[in-house]
Amino acid sequence: MGSLPIGTVIRILRRASRDWKLPAVTQVKEATRDPFQILISCLLSLRTKDETTAGASRRLFGRARTPQQMLNLSQTAIRKLIFPVGFYRTKARRIHEICQHLLGRFQGRVPDELEELLTLPGVGRKTANLVVTVAFGKLGICVDTHVHRISNRLGYVRTRNPLETEMALRKKLPKRYWIEYNDLLVAFGQTLCHPTSPWCSRCPVERFCPRMGVTRSR
């Protein structure tokens, strides 16, 4: 098999994704373009199922939609609103810390530069890239477990962790695909290309996939 025709694969996934459920953070983007809500939703989504993230986001933003409004809530109140997201106690504390930084250093606005976002408490490269691309429409490549796994499974990259995958994709993936790449692969991973026993028999790009690392499929 030659090199993966990534443009063809992305176009096929783009068409197929119309019938797939949108990732939770993308749902927030569809409802609002507010960078602050997108940032906080990204934080809530870490190690949490999408349906749980979506419910927590709705409850939280029903009470507070700005950094100042969020600080007006106690951490206990935030914990109750976002439960049962993963690590909800730590995330409630992080939300307060992020809001303090936004008000103290950025005049209450979410920065649109990757390096500035990475200075916020609890914000790693995955979250920072997601905010840059989803909230601001700027170039970035967000790599989570789905993007890392599927990019390697397709044989497009050969990397050991998400950071290596991001760096490899920045060198290899055409920039016109950067922003949508995460949304497509997350939805693909949640719907068909599961970590174990993926639905290869239903996969729209099966003919291009070498199934790297796949030992069992359906």
For the question of residue 126 being annotated catalytic, the response is yes
Nearest partner of 89 among 99, 97, 80, judged by Cα: 80
- Structure letter (DSSP) for residue 131: I
d(CA 53, CA 56): 5
CB 118 within 8 A of CB 140: no
Spot the catalytic one: 144, 171, 175, 183.
144
d(CA 97, CA 108): 13
For the question of residue 144 being annotated catalytic, the response is yes
Spot the catalytic one: 29, 50, 91, 126.
126
Percent of residues in the chain assigned helix, strand, coil, to nearest 5: 60, 0, 40
Q: Which residue has the tokens 């949490």?
A: 48
**Active site residues per annotation:** 126, 144
